[in-house]
Structure 1
Amino acid sequence: MSTHTVSVKKGISIEVVSILWMIVEAGVAIGAGLLAHSLALVAFGADSIIELIAGAVLLWRLTIEANGASLDRVKQAEKVSSWVVGIALLLLAVYIVVASADKLWTHQGAESSYLGIGLAIASGVVMPYLSWAKKRIGAEIGSKALRADGSCSIVCAYMAWTVLAGVILTALFGWWWVDSVAALALVYFVVKEGWEAIQEARGKEDACGCCHDDCC
């Protein structure tokens, strides 16, 4: 078995782990967010679902490559997926802004969420590792998509740290406005991911998903 084939199989394994974590992250974040009335946690969970879709498409592509088939037949599917993910993320950003504005206007705050704190800590630790693994394997097999997915994972870690700050401050001080402010802080990451996904769907050569200088 060639070194390239071994690396592709490693890529498949890390994507499977990532997808499983996204399922847990989405379920716990949305569940905890609804129980605590936390917009930031619900938005974090919604973003995880969208990343789950993108990860599933990438897993499909890697599996086809591992089986020795041509990748041409998945290019159109990747493009459609990028459009779906990009538009969904931009719509999520609009929802966050509108919901945050409503909560700030009506003085609605989130309740303490120790489950949310635990999830944010776990995501803040797990996602940087997944990011490093995806970028390393992506470099080994020459997969721009896998390296870009690694950058998406580190963005997810940034979002987790932002949510963590919000839920801790809410739990410690009961500041009703912190959750909405934390949710608004997520908009930057969500819009950036969404816009870059749309650019990739449009066939921009310098777009690579959640693109950063080190993934292009």
Structure 2
Amino acid sequence: MSFVESVRRIPPQVLLRGSIVVALVTIALKTLAWWITGSVGLLSDAMESLVNLASAIFALLMVSIAARPADEDHPYGHHKAEYFSSAFEGLAIMVASIGIGWTAVQRLLHPQPLEQVGWGLALSVLSSAFNWALAWMMMRSGEHHRSMALEGDARHLMTDVWTSAGVVLGVGLVAFTGWNWLDPAVAIGVALNILREGASLMWKSSQGLMDNALEAEVMAEIEKTLREFQHPTIRFDHISSRRSGQRRFVDLHMHMPASWTLGRAAAVRASVEQALMSAVPGLRATIQLLPSDVEAHFDDQEDLK
């Protein structure tokens, strides 16, 4: 097994625990960088790491809830809990951006010189290396496990990496040019960037909670599988789908001759369901059997009144 494949198979809970540890380390490094330099840009970077810590803790809680098996109160499982993690992270990012922006505006109005820039930049780069490595691992694992919480945390960490790169560039330019206003200007740019990222995460989580349809490439795979079973006596219609955390669901009607025995019809349906779930990992297929000359009209507007 390759290294990348090994990373993809790491359980989300393990990586989120690692995210908590890395967040604590980066908070210490970035706070020290701010303390020795007095840079408001580095302070904004440290504040975002506090958001990383809170988000990782909440994501771990939600992923643990999402992993619970279905029960009497939640017969379809707890998979949507991951969307709450993404929404919380987006909200936390947006709140942090407001705080960063306010601090930066105050420093822009009252610029101050920076001190010991070299040490501050070195600490910031080191913390960014930790975040980049963890974000890369979480993104690979998130794709494999279809974990919204893991993907959201990974995207946030990667945003943090680019944010730190911008801060390092800004602080370096301050040291080179002596233009102290560049430091708070960079911090304002950081605030706007993470505000955008927070809004994006909030939007994605809201779409997940509203039962979005499956991705186009997944639906194409479903339709390809159904074509393998199509026959002059068998047809499919009323195909609908939705996503719920790591789970994918598809419902459809399968029409077949009314003269078939129930056992024969059920056997064909079982074959179709198994083929669909084998073609699309994490899919749960529900197929309703109907005679060829019977049509369902549950979508008619008259029936919805």
Aligned pairs for 1:119-158 within 5 A: 119-158=123-162
Query: How much is the aligned-residue C-alpha RMSD, in angstroms?
Result: 3.1
Structure 1 runs of 4+ with >6 Å offset: none
- What's the counterpart of residue 105 of structure 1? 109
The 1:76–1:126 alpha-carbon spacing in structure 2 relative to 1, beyond 3 Å, is: closer
- What's the counterpart of residue 253 of structure 2? none
- What's the counterpart of residue 211 of structure 1? none
- The higher relative CO (CA closer than 8 Å, separation ≥ 6) is in 1
The 1:205–1:131 alpha-carbon spacing in structure 2 relative to 1, beyond 3 Å, is: same
Contact persistence 1:8–1:62 (CA under 8 A): no
Contact persistence 2:111–2:181 (CA under 8 A): yes
Structure 1 counterpart of 2:9, from 2, 7, 10? 7
Distance between the aligned counterparts of 1:91 and 1:168, measured in 2?
Answer: 27
Please give the TM-score of this superposition, normalised by the length of structure 1. Answer: 0.75
The 1:85–1:133 alpha-carbon spacing in structure 2 relative to 1, beyond 3 Å, is: closer
The 1:85–1:144 alpha-carbon spacing in structure 2 relative to 1, beyond 3 Å, is: closer
Displacement after TM superposition at 1:148 (Å): 2.7
* Amino acid aligned to 1:188: L
- What's the counterpart of residue 94 of structure 2? 90
Please give the TM-score of this superposition, normalised by the length of structure 2. Answer: 0.55
Choose 1 or 2 for highest CA Rg.
2
Distance between the aligned counterparts of 1:150 and 1:122, measured in 2?
Answer: 18
Displacement after TM superposition at 1:33 (Å): 1.3
% same residue = 22
Contact persistence 1:50–1:89 (CA under 8 A): yes
Distance between the aligned counterparts of 1:7 and 1:61, measured in 2?
Answer: 19
In structure 1, list runs of 5 or more residues that go unmatched: 208-216
Residues 112-153 of structure 1: per-residue CA shift (max 9 Å, x gap): 333321222123333332222112111222223212322222
Q: Give aligned pairs, total.
A: 199
- Secondary structure of the 1:205 match is helix
Q: Is residue 36 of structure 1 aligned with residue 37 of structure 2?
A: yes
- What's the counterpart of residue 114 of structure 1? 118
- What's the counterpart of residue 52 of structure 1? 53
Structure 1 counterpart of 2:190, from 170, 186, 191? 186
* Amino acid aligned to 2:207: K
- What's the counterpart of residue 204 of structure 1? 207
Residues 87-106 of structure 1: per-residue CA shift (max 9 Å, x gap): 44333323333332222222
Contact persistence 1:128–1:154 (CA under 8 A): yes
In structure 2, list runs of 5 or more residues that go unmatched: 211-305
Distance between the aligned counterparts of 1:97 and 1:141, measured in 2?
Answer: 36
* Amino acid aligned to 1:152: H
